[in-house]
Structure 1
Amino acid sequence: MSDAEPMDSAAVWLAYTTVGNEADAQTLAHRLVQEQLARCVTLLPGARSVYVWQGQLETTPEVLLMVKCTDAQRHAMKMVWTDLHPYELPELLFVKADDGHAPYLDWIRGV
């Protein structure tokens, strides 16, 4: 999606990211909600990521954050992500929530 594409005010998105510990997860979640970049953040400790970083195979314990947001919040989050996230190369993946419990989706939208 390009920055020039119009926003869809009805769209709800799930964003996924990981951080290395519970303290960083709490800090990031609170900032996202307090700065109105997300409506809700769910923290899932106990994740383990396996990946290659700088030529080395890594296995790292992490906390997964599941972020619920609107399209406007998604755009704003992308603009400041590297300033908010503690990692050098922070994960940020968006999945559009095409369906769900209508009252919950309305709450995410602020309706």
Structure 2
Amino acid sequence: MATIALVHVTFADAAEAERIGSTMVAERLAACVTIHPPCRSIYRWDGKMERGQEIPATFKTAGIRAGRLRAAILRLHSYELPVIETTAAEVDASVADWVDEATH
């Protein structure tokens, strides 16, 4: 087993998720991005309860590149305060090798 980083982000719409996801893969900051179906989010913002549809996405990257990926997403994201969560994930060594190769 080996470890990679999963970076989870929600976007305002599918076009933004696709644009940022494609950019991160093209710039080799992520090996791939999985764009999920829309979800409903309920959150508190500026003292009010808000509800809205968002598009979640999960980026796979090497652990040592997760910080650079997060910074790049933050620069391109439309939200004032995007939540960018990073989790370590155990994967087969061959998957970790592919992620490392794809993000070099």
**What TM-score does the superposition give when structure 1 sets the normalisation length?**
0.81
Identity %: 31
Report what 1:40 is aligned to: 32
Match for residue 101 of structure 1?
92
Equivalent pairs counted in the alignment come to 101
| Structure with greater helix share of residues | 2
Q: 1:77 aligns with which of 66, 69, 84?
A: 69
In the TM superposition, residue 11 of structure 1 has moved relative to its aligned partner by 4.1
> CA–CA distance in 1 between the matches of 2:92 and 2:63?
18
> More displaced, 75-84 or 26-35?
75-84
Matched residue, 2:56: 64
Aligned-residue CA RMSD in angstroms? Answer: 1.7
Could you tell me how far apart the structure 2 residues matched to 1:63 and 1:30 are?
Answer: 15
CA displacement, residues 74-97 of structure 1 (integer Å, 9 cap, x when unaligned): 121233343121111011100001
What are the ranges of 5 or more consecutive residues in structure 1 without an aligned counterpart?
A: 1-9
Structure with the larger strand share: 2
SS in 2 for 1:105: helix
CA distance in 1, matches of 2:41, 2:94: 34
Paired with 1:14 and 1:109, the residues of 2 have a C-alpha distance of 13
For normalisation by structure 2, the TM-score amounts to: 0.86
Any unmatched runs of 5+ in structure 2?
Answer: none
Which structure has more relative contact order (CA 8 Å, sep 6+)? It is 2
